[in-house]
Chain A
């Protein structure tokens, strides 16, 4: 399977706990994006990363949320001290580094976070 992979697919946390969401981009892609989707809404941009760099985090809440894309391993979206309002589907997308296709972002299956 050469697609974008996300895990876990479903995550349940109690208020105050930490949530870690993982994303492995498509092979050959070095650009990763995280989006959040509330029920019956479109996706909202959170953060854009390249390997070891955060390029644009303008859509990510300033507190409790962080993201990384290390040199080795998957990209991680981390939510500390989760609250009920964090319950949503979190999608990761990836795109090619440069040339060829412009901004075709391919999405993973998402992680559905439920905060009790």
Chain B
């Protein structure tokens, strides 16, 4: 069964430093996608970055990069040069693309990130 695990309930980082948020996943599908979302206190889910299971290079989007280690089934989010506005809840999610799958997202428990000035 598909599952996402985020083992860090809360993280602190100093402003301008880099931080890594951990995510491990479990799936029997060969074709899947991994997503990271940011959820500020206002509640909206903001898409950050995507990695497909067949993508050979790690995804990058501005200050966000995804450290994809397929053999370890991990998809850690790296935020470089942290800003105060990065303080939020971060969710890792997975979507399976195999036959019969509906494309629903399975989310992890989330990690709360606080950026210190």
A binds B: no
